[in-house]
Amino acid sequence: MSQYDVFNGDADGICALHQLRLAVPLASTLVTGVKRDIQLLERVAAQPGDSVTVLDISLDRNRAALLGLLDRGVRVEYFDHHFSGAIPEHPGLRVHIEAAPGACTSTLVDRHLQGRYRLWAVVAAFGDNLHGTALELARSCGLGEDGIVSLRGLGQAINYNAYGDSEADLLIAPARLYRAIEPHASPFDFLDSDASAQLLADGRRQDMAMARGMAAAYRQPAGDVYVLPDAPWARRVQGEFANELAARFPPLAHAVLCERSQGGYSVSVRAPLARLGGADRLCRQFPGGGGRAGAAGIDLLARDRLQEFIRAFGAAFDPGHGQVRA
């Protein structure tokens, strides 16, 4: 019998799996990819009697593949915080799903493990732009300001590394980054002993400087929309730039689009931190859209639907307005 670990390649997916495997070590086949590789269960060739653990990918976007695995006699345990739709009832399926705005997959795993490896949940929450949740968890661990700053930087760096059209855009492939983290029970040990963390932090700093030099393409009462070029640095920094904008301007929503070589745009949306909600509903209006209430995205927004998206963005976060002004 084989074990498959299927996880999003961002900070939340990596840290959620790391907590689980620190608690229950298992040799497994890793199935992951860039952050936008959502339909990962299609890649799992599990057979009857095998087990699959799924972390931080939408059940709704993987429904057909999940049902296929269950029908083949594969046992599945599912941890996630994205919109799930109706959850199948099946004796082979164990589900830990909560789509509350302040939750991420690593906080669900943290609760499941009763806080045994909570520092990694702090890293993940910072990476997922859940600063309030991260600070609450950090203080429950007795962390001082220096420790909080270190884990915030690590979470942001790991999350930054997940963005790109393919793994060729990333500084470190997610499976390789997980293997680098795997020996370390504490994130502080990882920071002290592995060069990967510094590599990611340096890359993030350089790419963020490029993004900060961009002006908003569209401004609305609801918030700003940025359009980044078709370039590896822009694809890498798209999500982290959206997170930074949300943190700097908590009353406003933000959207960061990145031009795609095949035409159209990838989209990252952040709801106002002051009133998290609506990002997932907005993005699900478009093909390939999904996510969670506070942060969501669209895999490929057609170029001829850009103005429709701008109007929908304004209506979603400021229903009384929604007028586009370049």
pLDDT digits (tens, 9 = 90+) for 85-101: 999 999 999 999 998 88
Task: Classify residue 209: in a domain, yes or no.
Answer: no
Task: Classify residue 256: in a domain, yes or no.
Answer: yes
- Residue (of 166, 203, 204) closest to 33 by Cα position: 166
Compute the half-sphere exposure of residue 47: CA atoms within 13 Å on the CB side of its CA: 2
Q: Report the CATH number that the domain containing residue 122 is assigned in CATH.
A: 3.90.1640
Contacts of 325 (CB under 8 A, 6+ apart): 218, 219, 220
Question: Amino acid letter at 247?
Answer: A
Q: How far apart are CA 124 and CA 105, in angstroms?
A: 8
Compute the half-sphere exposure of residue 71: CA atoms within 13 Å on the CB side of its CA: 6
- pLDDT of 326 higher than 70: no
Same domain, 279 and 137: no
Burial of 2 (0-12, 13-18, 19+ CB in 10 A): middle
Q: Per-residue DSSP letters for 203-261?
A: HHHHHHHHHHTPPPSEEETTEEEEEE-SSHHHHHHHHHHHHHHHHH-TTSEEEEEEE-T
Domain that holds residue 283: 214-317
Domain boundary among 153, 175, 202: 202
- Residue (of 68, 17, 3) closest to 39 by Cα position: 68
- pLDDT of 309 higher than 90: yes
Q: How does residue 325 score in pLDDT terms, banded at 50, 70 and 90? A: very low
Same domain, 126 and 156: yes
Task: Classify residue 77: in a domain, yes or no.
Answer: yes
Contacts of 230 (CB under 8 A, 6+ apart): 258, 259, 260, 261
Same domain, 308 and 163: no
Same domain, 172 and 243: no
Q: Per-residue DSSP letters for 82-110?
A: S---SPPP-TTEEEEE---TT--HHHHHH
Task: Classify residue 235: in a domain, yes or no.
Answer: yes
* Number of domains comprising the chain: 2
Query: Helices H, strands E: what count in the chain?
Result: 12, 11
Task: Classify residue 117: in a domain, yes or no.
Answer: yes
Same domain, 44 and 176: yes
Task: Classify residue 48: in a domain, yes or no.
Answer: yes
Domain boundary among 202, 224, 243: 202
Domain boundary among 149, 176, 202: 202
Same domain, 256 and 312: yes
Q: How does residue 129 score in pLDDT terms, banded at 50, 70 and 90? A: confident
Q: How does residue 322 score in pLDDT terms, banded at 50, 70 and 90? A: very low
Q: Which two tokens stand for residue 32?
A: 């992951």
Q: How does residue 291 score in pLDDT terms, banded at 50, 70 and 90? A: confident
| DSSP helix/strand/coil, 270 | strand
Mean pLDDT of the chain: 94
Task: Classify residue 153: in a domain, yes or no.
Answer: yes
pLDDT digits (tens, 9 = 90+) for 202-226: 999 999 999 999 999 999 999 999 9
Task: Classify residue 173: in a domain, yes or no.
Answer: yes
- CA angle, residues 290, 99, 16, in degrees to nearest 5: 90
Q: Read off the pTM.
A: 0.83
- pLDDT of 149 higher than 50: yes
- pLDDT at position 319 is 57
Same domain, 129 and 269: no
Same domain, 177 and 226: no
Q: Report the CATH number that the domain containing residue 289 is assigned in CATH.
A: 3.10.310.30
Same domain, 135 and 252: no
Same domain, 47 and 161: yes
Same domain, 181 and 237: no
- CA angle, residues 88, 94, 91, in degrees to nearest 5: 65
Same domain, 19 and 163: yes
